Amino acid sequence: MKPIQRAAFIGNHLPRRCGIATFTHDLHRAVAMARPGLETCVAAMNDPGGAYDYPAPVRFQIQEETIDAYAEAADFLNTARFDVVSLQHEYGIFGGKAGSHVLSLLRELRMPIVTPLHTILAEPNPLQRAAMDEITRLSERLVVMSQHGATLLRDVHGVAADRIDLIPHGIPNVASARRSKDQLGVEGRSRWETDRQALDRTRTDIAS
């Protein structure tokens, strides 16, 4: 297998304000920092009527409800000869019923697709099931963020376990509030008392 030299990301992107936009931005940035020699780009999804001042990594924009834009995006990615595409999947960010417009893009791509799945439904309706089944068929790897998500992919959509990668999505463990108070020497004091103590220390530092 040849080394990956070009990677593209599809999804919402900052400055659009939504969780997927932040995720795509952070994922792209992390990959680019980890592999400085890797050529990367983002194909950003635009909501109806949306226009954004995107940063340089966003090299292509897809209008959510414009079906032809998906074919144009596939042509752009194929012509640029990207080695892999990462698709951020959430039903609501793509046009068509159950976000089915994105399927026309995926079917035309000539490189492996890795798809982080941000929503996996336990009881999808027929349109949602059809869209997800086709995405799982077209994707080389599927990324989930919880064991429950992996179980749903296997049980609801029949995806083999060896095609699923679990990468937890969350925040690191932090000390409890009680333990933090112990470390700071303020155990047993109210928040008001703690804030007042900090203010008094600040005033003393300024006076000295």
Tens digits of residue pLDDT in 28-50:
999 999 999 999 999 999 999 88
Which bin fits 207, alpha (ψ -120 to 50), beta or left (φ > 0)? alpha
Burial class (CB in 10 A: 0-12, 13-18, 19+), 55: middle
**pLDDT of residue 86 exceeding 60:** yes
Domain ranges of the chain: 6-166, 177-207
Joined together, the tokens standing for residue 11 give 């999804």
Matching residue, tokens 């429950």: 148
Average pLDDT for residues 55-77, to the nearest whole number?
Answer: 97
pTM score, whole prediction: 0.81
Residue 181 confidence class, pLDDT cut points 50, 70, 90: low
Type of residue numbered 96: G
Q: Which residues of 134-143 are buried (b: 16+ CB within 10 A; e: fewer)?
A: ebbebbeebb
Average pLDDT for residues 111-129, to the nearest whole number?
Answer: 97
Tens digits of residue pLDDT in 162-180:
999 999 976 656 565 555 5
User: pLDDT value at position 3?
Assistant: 86
Q: 11: number of CA atoms within 13 Å, CB side?
A: 28
Q: Does domain 6-166 have CATH number 3.40.50.2000?
A: yes
User: pLDDT value at position 60?
Assistant: 97
How many angstroms separate the CA atoms of 131 and 140, rounded?
A: 16
**pLDDT of residue 194 exceeding 90:** no
Alpha-carbon Rg for the chain, nearest whole angstrom, is 22
CB atoms within 10 A of CB 99: 21
